[in-house]
Amino acid sequence: MAFGPPALGYDRAITVFSPDGKLYQVEYAAENVRKGWTTVALKTDEIGVLVAEKRKISSLIDMASINKIFLVDSHMGASFAGLAADGRILIDYARREALNYRFIYDEPADVEYVVKSVCDVKQLYTQHAGVRPFGVSLIFVGRDKRGIHVFKTEINGYYFAYLALAVGSGEQPAMEYLEKNYDRKLGKEGAVELALKALRASTEEGLSPDLVEVGLVTLEEGVFRKLTYEETADFILKTGVNR
C-alpha cells in the first residue's frame, strides 16, 4: 500500500486535526509570518517602542504611501508581520473595539482588552469550515492605567506579553541581539536605539528613514505617536545603523 505525505488529507479543512494533533492550515498561515517584513518592539520602565521595516518591492512605488505602524487609539499603536491585507482588517477591528470601549465607558480601553478581542476573532477562524486562519501576527504597544505593554498575537488566537520581541523574516538575529542587550532601565533614546540596532542586526544592508517606521509611547505622556521622517533620520544617523 502506498502512503502519501504526512499532511495528505488533513490540511484540506481547518476543522480536521491530524493524527499528531496539528491543524496544518494554522501552521501554513504561520509561515506567512516567518516570511513577513521584520518588526521589533520593546518596553522599558519609561517607554514602549515599535520599529517596523519597509521594503521597496518596486522602483515605482511611493514609499510614503506604505504604512507599517498604525494608530489604534491615542494611547496604543500596532504593527504586523505576514499578510498585509489580513493585518489591515484586524487593525481596523482593533480600532473599532477601542472606539466602542471609549464610547461606552468614557475612558481608554486597556491594551490587553483590545488584544484579547482581536485574538477572539483569530481563534474563531481556526474552528469553522469554509474559512482560513489569518496569516498575520500583530504586535500591540500601548500605555494604560496599568503601565506600558507589549503584546504579540499568535496565528491560533493566543497572545503573550513581552519585554522585547521581534517577528518576521529577521526574527532570529533580531531576537538574539535583544536577548544580549536588553535593559529595562533604558530611557527614551536608549530604547529607540536598541530597537533600531536589533532591526539592523536582521538585515544585510544599513537602515534608511525611507524604509523604517518608529512609533513610541512614554509612561509620562501616555500618547502613542509615530516619529516624523526627520526624527527617524536623526536616530538612524546617531545610532550608526545606516552603515
Q: Give the β-pairing of 164-167 and 159-161.
A: unpaired
Q: What is the DSSP letter of 132?
A: -
Domain that holds residue 173: 24-54+67-239
Residue 61 included in any domain: no
pLDDT at 4: 46
Contacts of 27 (CB under 8 A, 6+ apart): none
pLDDT for the residue numbered 9:
66
**Torsion angles phi and psi, residue 140, rounded to 5:** -110, 135
* 3-state class percentages of the chain: helix first, strand second, coil last, to nearest 5: 35, 25, 40
Residue 37, C-alpha cell as written in the block: 517584513
- How much is the pLDDT for 156? 92
Count of structural domains, the chain: 1
**Element spanning 215, H or E:** strand 212-218
Residue 12 inside a domain? The answer is no
Tell whether 147 is covered by a domain. Answer: yes
* Cβ atoms < 10 Å from Cβ of 7: 14
CATH code where residue 166 lies: 3.60.20.10
For each of the chain's 243 residues, which pLDDT tens digit applies?
A: 344 455 566 677 777 888 888 888 888 888 989 999 999 999 999 999 999 999 988 889 888 889 999 999 999 999 999 999 999 999 999 999 999 999 999 999 999 999 999 999 999 999 888 889 999 999 999 999 999 999 999 999 999 999 999 999 999 999 999 999 999 999 999 999 999 999 999 998 899 999 999 999 999 999 999 999 999 999 999 999 998
Would 144 be classed as within a structural domain? yes
Cα dist from 58 to 51, 63, 120, 232, whole Å: 22, 9, 36, 23
Find out whether 52 and 41 touch, Cβ atoms under 8 Å: no
Nearest to 218 by CA among 188, 240, 242: 188
Residue 184 lies inside a defined structural domain of this protein: yes
